[in-house]
């Protein structure tokens, strides 16, 4: 499988390091189906 950074090329660092500062994560509401997937997995939601 190809490396994501290679696929993104010159913009890789900018795109992969991006942090949204305009919308607080507490104000986002995920549909129940998405929450169910994440709650059933051992993943960290940033």
Q: At a CB cut-off of 8 Å and minimum separation 6, what does 38 contact?
A: 30, 45
**What pLDDT is recorded for position 1?**
39
3-state DSSP helix/strand/coil % of the chain, to nearest 5: 50, 0, 50
Spatial CA neighbour of 4 closest among 14, 16, 18, 22: 16
pLDDT tens across the length of the chain (46 residues):
369 999 999 999 999 998 888 888 888 876 676 666 666 666 565 6
Q: Determine the Cα–Cα distance for residues 45 and 40; give it in Å rounded to an integer.
A: 12
């Amino acid at each position: 499988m190809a490396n994501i950074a290679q696929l993104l090329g010159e913009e890789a660092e900018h795109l992969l390091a991006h942090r949204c500062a305009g919308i607080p994560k507490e104000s986002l509401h995920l549909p129940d189906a998405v929450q169910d997937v994440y709650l059933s997995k051992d993943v960290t939601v940033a």
